[in-house]
Structure 1
C-alpha cells in the first residue's frame, strides 16, 4: 500500500467521495452537499492509494471549545488494515487544544473509538432529519 495523505479540496472529485461513502457503507451522500460539508470543516483528511481515494474524515471545530469528529469512512478493501485508526488519530491530534472533542459512532463501533480516549456521553441529544430512521438504526432512543 503506497498511501498519499492530503487535506486539500482544490480540484477535488466530490463524486469519488460520494462513491466512497456509498461503498463504506455510510449511505448515499450528495456530492454538492459533501463539498459544502468538507469546505466548512476546519480539519479534513483524505487518503489515496494508487491515485484512488480510499479513506476520509473531517472535523467541524470552532478553534477553542468544541471539535466534532465526523464522516470517517474507508473503502471496504482498506477496512481492517489500521488505516481507519490512522485517520482518527490524525484528526484527534489536529483537534488537540479544544476543550472537548465529540463524535457519534455507528452503533457497535464504540469500542474502536474508546482506544482514542472517547467516553460515552450521558447528555448528548440530537434532532435528525429523519428521527424514526435514526431510531431504527440505533442512533437515538425515543424516550
Structure 2
C-alpha cells in the first residue's frame, strides 16, 4: 500500500467504473481522498489496482468507504489486505462503520462487521439507492 501522491486520479476513476462501483470523477476522488483521514492505495508497478479510504474523527467514528479492487486482481487477497489495513489505521475509534455493496456483506462479516439495526442514510438520489439495493424503497424526494 502506498501514498496517494503517486495516484493517477483519472486511472482511479476508471477503476471505480470497471469494478463496477459507480461513476466517480477524478476531481471528486481527489477531493474525497484529500478529506479522508486514512487512505490505502495498492499499485502493480505504476498501475493502481486497489484503493480505499476511511473518513474518521480520531476518537469516535471511522467510516470505511470506496473500497475497490481491479477485476483482474480480485481473488488475490488485495481486498482483504486493504480492509485489514484500514481497520488497523482506525484502531482506537469506538466504532468502525461501512456500508457494503449489496451481496458483499459476507466478505465484511469475516472482519467482524455486523449488520446494524438502526443505520439510516439520506441519499442524493433515493430512487437509485433503492434500485441498487441500498435501501428498501425510494422514499419521497431527494433530501440533499
Give the alignment's TM-score, normalised by structure 1. 0.93
Structure 2 partner of 1:90: 85
Structure 2 partner of 1:107: 102
Q: Which secondary structure does the structure 2 equivalent of 1:27 belong to?
A: coil
What CA distance in whole angstroms lies between the structure 2 residues aligned with 1:129 and 1:75? 26
Structure 2 partner of 1:136: 131
Query: CA offset at residue 11 of structure 1?
Result: 5.0
* Deviation per residue, 1:11-68 (Å, 9 max, x gap): 5311011011011111111111111100000000000012210000000000000000
Q: Which secondary structure does the structure 2 equivalent of 1:80 belong to?
A: coil
Q: How does 1:56-95 map to 2 (within 5 A)?
A: 56-95=51-90
- Report how many aligned residue pairs link the two structures: 138
Q: How does 1:115-134 map to 2 (within 5 A)?
A: 115-134=110-129
Q: What are structure 2's unaligned runs of at least 5 residues?
A: 140-144
2:22 matches 1:27: yes
What CA distance in whole angstroms lies between the structure 2 residues aligned with 1:22 and 1:136? 18
Q: CA RMSD in A?
A: 1.1
2:47 matches 1:44: no
What CA distance in whole angstroms lies between the structure 2 residues aligned with 1:24 and 1:43? 21
Large movers: runs of 4+ above 4 Å: none
